[in-house]
Amino acid sequence: MGMVAPLGLTVEENWQALLAGKSGVTRTRKFPAETFPTTFSAQVPPLDLSQYTDRASEFAHSGDNVRFAVAASRMAYDDSGLTPDSVAPERFGVYLGSGEGPADFYAFIRSLAAGLRDGAIDIGAYYRAGLKHYDIMNEWEQEPGRSSAHLARLYGALGPNYNTLTACAASTQAIGEAMMAIRRGDADAMLTGGTHTMIQPFGVMGFNLLTAIATEPREHPEKASCPFDSKRSGFVMGEGSSILVIEELEHALARGAKIHAELLGFGSSADAYRMTDIHPEGRGPVACLEAAMADAGISKDEIDYVNAHGTSTTENDKVETLSLKKFFGARAPQVPVSSIKGSMGHLIAAAGATELIACVLAIRDQVLPPTLNYEDPDEGLDLDYVPNKARPARVETCLSESFGFGGQNDALVVRRYRA
């Protein structure tokens, strides 16, 4: 496993900060955001790519999506113990949930300004200005699929190579479908997970227009992400990358791999409802959870912990709670459910992979990460949200769920590896 996220530049840094109840939400540094309704975000600490690869100069034009993935993948690859000799290149693949870089918006603004004529755009003038201002390689390197292409090149992975951008469910879907590729016999091992940043003017402006991200409290941004709390008013934009190596069991055992956990099941569904709203009865999430359990082949009574999508938006947290009640039935109040987005914001396409790693570490350390900033219960939201403090617990099997704009729902079941 590998991770660069708002709480640190390694898996352990992020995990220990989560357990300590720390917040990665601060004033936005990546662009001048003082005039925006939202002035804070959860940003990755300064990253020196040369600490992760001796080919750092090759990524001079790359977007942060690529740079984050290069760093996280190096940690995951090293942690896995894989070598070029331990897996056949054509049996080693990549599947990421990856978003945009972002592009050079200042070049876009300069070019657009040069093309304005009495309130209209002179396309010819815009094009000529673009030739002057745009770095074409830089623009190409912001494209979402660049991350998976670069990882294949870095590790000599000649097998299946995919990228998905199903919004906030992307990396959960990528991991699930990477597992399916191994099951089908298409690969022996896959680098999978997610990478994304939308902390840029267009990203923040878009979500402000949708009223989807929090705008308060400006003076205490660490309090802004409060999943399942009555004061929740929107998510906090985060960024980062979490990458895992998943592998066919017999292949892993044959090379003496260190096995962190076992992926048991994957479920996916669509709400087929609205582009930005979950179906109010939770039909998509429930179908997804049921599919994941059927794929895992275990009883839902075996689930010890749920890592929730838990965005801190009014609608998500209400419908997600309803969905879990429908799914677990009378047992729902006894199942711990927490959201790490209270600590590190919403990593968008990278969120699901980050949360799956939190599940694996919960199993390893027998402790549940808390839901930060849970202070005022909301009517009907009455599950065990593990408020504010990490909790020792028996954890053998976890459920990690992700829901994305467009109605995409994905879930993974992970269990302690039983030799």
The 10s digit of each residue's pLDDT in 251-260 is: 999 999 999 9
Least confident of 90-94, 125-129, 256-260: 125-129
Cβ atoms of 200 and 289 within 8 Å: the answer is: no
Task: Check if CATH label 1.10.150.120 holds for domain 2-102+142-415.
Answer: no
Q: In the chain, what is the greatest distance between 2 CA atoms, to the nearest angstrom?
A: 72
**In which band, very low, low, confident or very high, does the pLDDT at 139 lie, cut at 50, 70 and 90?**
low
Reported as a single tens digit per residue, the pLDDT across 283-292 is 999 999 999 9
pLDDT at 355 (0 to 100): 98
Residue ranges per structural domain of the chain? 2-102+142-415, 105-140
> Counting Cβ atoms within 10 Å, is residue 110 exposed (0-12), middle (13-18) or buried (19+)?
middle
Q: What angle do CA 192, 173, 301 make, to 5 degrees?
A: 110
Compute the average pLDDT of residues 286-303: 98
Reported as a single tens digit per residue, the pLDDT across 29-67 is 999 999 999 999 999 999 999 999 999 998 888 889 999
Cβ atoms of 229 and 376 within 8 Å: the answer is: yes
Cβ atoms of 53 and 402 within 8 Å: the answer is: no
**In which band, very low, low, confident or very high, does the pLDDT at 136 lie, cut at 50, 70 and 90?**
low
Known catalytic residues are: 168, 309, 346
Beta strands (DSSP E) in 198-314 are 239-247, 262-270, 305-307
Indicate if the pLDDT at residue 103 is higher than 70. Answer: no
| Percent of the chain topping pLDDT 90 | 84
